[in-house]
Chain A
């Protein structure tokens, strides 16, 4: 058992902040014209991982098998780590005195910029895993493209996150295949999840003025550029999983990136932001 001196070691968060102060120079952070779009785009990246991480963390202690409890918590942990990096950079770009925590815990739904796919309820493991797979297959392409970003800070975050997301897509693809080609029931559940989630997947590939501005600045690819690679992954995995790709449009549900969400996001935020809202200004 640690003694009292062990229990009162220096503040590790302060040490981390000091380490973060020695970042490479990135001229994009001072580009006033680019600022609103760059900030919004960084929020999109961070809000996607924040909300998906939140959803996956809801499984904690309730997984179908011990290994899944561990894997789900681990995945959620990775995504919350990505959120800290993306929203941390967003706060720096905004330069208005807000922190990553302020952005995560003090913005209301209309200011959240995640795609609708990630805020949908978990329902069961089939929906949870299929959603992860559809997202991971996009995430890995996005981060790979961002390795070439003209913004060294963005490229640095992408390189860190990609190490983890490589495992995410490997795991979710593998489970989609196994459950799709498992029992009749697991197949039916996976097909149902795919049919239900499919109309939300396309929002990941829809571009708008924000995307155009960051693409023009050489920071990120245009969303549509990632579609072909994503489809190749999805087609191959669904084929091996003996699942049928839905015929309807995959971009029916859209608007999350611009702050128009499903009814579910408000409840997520009510839960997630409770302490910060109930005790304004307290330090945790």
Chain B
């Protein structure tokens, strides 16, 4: 899940709503899509901007941990696949910023908030990628966890967000499979490769569980977002689903999930599993994760060093527009 702990505005009952708000909620309840120029409550707009913005930022910052291994990919095929994947992530950022723009906030504005630290990106990208097996683990577990949330969001109430999510899900599912393909090679490779694969699972398991955010079953924010259909499931439901699907995949690889309490619970029909260290999660959100500083610095540097480039293109566009204007005057 690339959006964590998104605050939404307070929850009202149908009786407390204005006629407009009630009509809006009834449209959502009927399963209609809300489109950009239609009326929407301020809270709906603000919550969506936060959520879509955070997701977009996660795609952009998410280029860095995988980009870290592009120049060291072990074969031409792996290098090509990884490049294609990271390029897809940047493309997802583009769809999402575009979806956010339909709500009246510009990409530059959102980028400014990312770089100043006012907006967050997913905690997961503050963890380092230390070996090639991490490219497998990121695809398998991180994209796998993201898909858990994104598949239901294809049915979200806001039209542009829903359509962006449909495109994104097609690619993410491919990403997860390529990650798993790397894990299969490593887990069945040399002893060193298998050791790298197990180490990657050990390091990414709990951070992947954190991606769903802390339990929110009693959260007012979540209840409102769910009523608006911009959040489709609780964090705990998604986390459980992820564990249930991932554990057999780990077993197939012959790898051990680093959780001694992990058991299949026949009565529940689900795995019982240990919670991640939520203190660590809140520390990472506060900026104290292993790579927070590097990730944000890399994005700030890219933006600052690119200023002359963007200014140059803008200046040319202005000159070209002026030339066209004077040419059309001359032609009259």
Contact = CB atoms under 8 A, between A and B. Distances in A.
A62 B310 contact: no
A64 B185 contact: no
Contact of A57 (B71, B242, B308): B71
Contact of B316 (A70, A104, A125, A181): A181
B249 A58 contact: no
Nearest to A276: B74
B264 interface: no
Given A61-B64, A124-B305, A181-B316, A8 B80 contact: no
B61 to A, nearest CB: 8
B119 interface: no
A1 interface: yes
Contacts of A271: 71-72
Interface in A56-106: 57-58, 60-70, 73-74, 76-77, 80-81, 83-84, 87, 100-101, 104-105
A70 B91 contact: yes
Of B76, B77, B302, most A-chain CB atoms within 10 Å: B76
A6 interface: yes
Contact of B79 (A63, A69, A80, A87): A80
B312 A179 contact: yes
A194 B198 CA distance: 49
Contacts of B78: 284
Given A1-B147, A4-B249, A179-B312, A80 B80 contact: yes
A279 B190 contact: yes
A22 interface: no
Nearest to A188: B308
Contact of B189 (A57, A64, A187, A282): A282
A61 B86 CA distance: 8
Interface stretch (B21-29, B38-46, B173-181): B173-181
Nearest to A175: B313
Nearest to B87: A73
Given A1-B144, A125-B309, A62 B252 contact: no
A132 B78 CA distance: 24
Interface string B112-151: 0000000000000000000010000000000010011001
A251 B57 CA distance: 45
Contacts of B60: 61, 66
B192 A279 contact: yes
A125 B308 CA distance: 10
- Top 8 closest A-B pairs, CB basis? A64-B306, A186-B312, A182-B312, A61-B63, A73-B87, A60-B67, A284-B74, A275-B74
Interface of A: 1-4, 6-9, 13, 50, 54, 57-58, 60-70, 73-74, 76-77, 80-81, 83-84, 87, 100-101, 104-105, 124-125, 175, 177-179, 181-183, 185-187, 189, 271-272, 274-276, 279, 281-284
Contacts of A73: 83-84, 86-87, 90
B83 A70 contact: no
Contacts of A2: 173, 176-177, 180
Of B193, B301, B317, most A-chain CB atoms within 10 Å: B193
A208 B161 CA distance: 58
18 contacts: A57-B71, A57-B79, A60-B63, A66-B93, A66-B107, A69-B63, A69-B87, A74-B87, A77-B80, A80-B83, A84-B80, A101-B77, A104-B76, A175-B313, A183-B308, A185-B312, A275-B74, A276-B74
A205 B79 CA distance: 30
A282 B75 contact: no
Contacts of A124: 305
B298 A275 contact: no
Contacts of B252: 4, 8
Given A3-B245, A178-B316, A272 B177 contact: no
A183 B312 contact: yes
Contacts of B303: 64
Contact residues of A: prevailing secondary structure = helix
Contacts of A60: 63, 67, 70, 83, 86
Given A8-B184, A69-B90, A77-B87, A63 B302 contact: yes
Given A1-B147, A61-B63, A178-B313, 14 more contacts: A1-B241, A7-B249, A57-B70, A60-B67, A61-B86, A68-B306, A70-B87, A74-B87, A101-B75, A101-B76, A175-B313, A185-B311, A274-B72, A283-B189
A281 B88 CA distance: 31
Contacts of A9: 177
A13 B63 contact: no
B248 to A, nearest CB: 6
A104 B78 CA distance: 13
A169 B329 CA distance: 33
